[in-house]
Structure 1
Amino acid sequence: MKAKILFVEDEASLTELVRYNLERENFDVTCAADGEEGLMMATEVPPDLILLDWMLPNLSGIEICRRLRRNTATASVPIIMLTARTEEADRVRGLDTGADDYITKPFSPRELIARINAVLRRVRPGLSGEVLRYGDIVLDSKSHKVMRNDRPVHLGPTEFRMLRHFLENPGRVFSREQLLDAVWGHDVYVELRTVDVHIRRLRKALNTDDLPDLIRTVRSAGYALDYETAPA
């Protein structure tokens, strides 16, 4: 069954490029050229994932994202924002509004497809058996094993889920609240400082033998798996 993707973008040449590459990967792609049309299409027939430009005619991507998250029919639809804005504050704002991922322009179709697949893995259980690799870290979801630098890493269940979440979103900054929702779930009450405790445990398990720390602390924002310092 094809995953249905709604692409909201006002630049015609980019729309055609993305549509072509996604359809080659067997995605079912529908496009909208302005914000109001995109919002209407998303609410009438919610897709499996939305690619959403930030700057759109009639209604901005940020406002669309905000309205979709308030609508019970679309609140759980994954959203990837596409934008030319490169400042970290803009990325954090987009993610705090409810986007699941954030890609800056220009981007390669290959990167976009990888990001789409990573987001869909989290909402489609049939894709959850994959091995995730990043730098010298390998996580096997099926066997529940983690390796770093070809050595086993022993993690508790919470640290395992947290690492998997980071591996599915390399480079993305997550606030403590977002990590609580992703790792513990929306309906579980956990204090924010608990996130810091598990981050310390994860770092301790990963960073043996003086290996570089790949988890970056972003002041006043949260944490990220820092691809810029990951081993080649």
Structure 2
Amino acid sequence: MRVHEMVRTGRDPYVLVVAPDPSMRGALTAELTGDGYRVTAIATGAAAVRLLDEDQVDLVVVDVDTPDLHDLARERLTFSDRPPVLCVTACEFLGELVPMLGTRIEDYITKPCRSAELLARAQVLVRDRAATGPVDVLRHGDLLLDDAVRRAWRGDRPLEVTPAEYRLLRHLLRNAGRVLSKEQLARYVWGESREVNAIERLVSRLRQKVDEAPPALIHTHRGFGYRLSLAP
């Protein structure tokens, strides 16, 4: 059974493959694409971090021999809505991987990868994510966020936000009426401090989507930060 026949998300599940070896990347991509997944394949942890910041990913398949894997490990620790991770490894003991990644791992497969095992484990992780994801719905005025599908609406208008924009909007909404500093927002969105311009650009992009029609919800407090509120 192809995976998109099991998971009713309205789209084919999206998988990020991270592996330094071109032949492994190609083989994993071919297997997953053939089973109905949309796949992006990259070679480094740093590239994975950038993609995870911009796209909604349902599963990460990562070779533990990937250079700068610590970058991906740090990314996994940051967000409660991170995708599950399936490791490809030469070792046969899951516990040995934990110090390397700095956090728990959902599952792993050993090299050389067997097609049936890869697809079966990927299918379970994607299915479980769809079935047990958070169901928290947040509202403020006509703004609505649904954590189960990580989507946002302003009235009847869906907001096409990136994962980083969604995390920013979620934090503003959970703290509606409060002024949050740029550093507070950056640490929530990225798990670390960033240049002031980074959060300013992110807020600007989000504001164009949320406040496309009045009344404006995202307000700037110069010298302090930002506030989400129906009140000006």
TM-score by length of 1: 0.47
TM-score by length of 2: 0.47
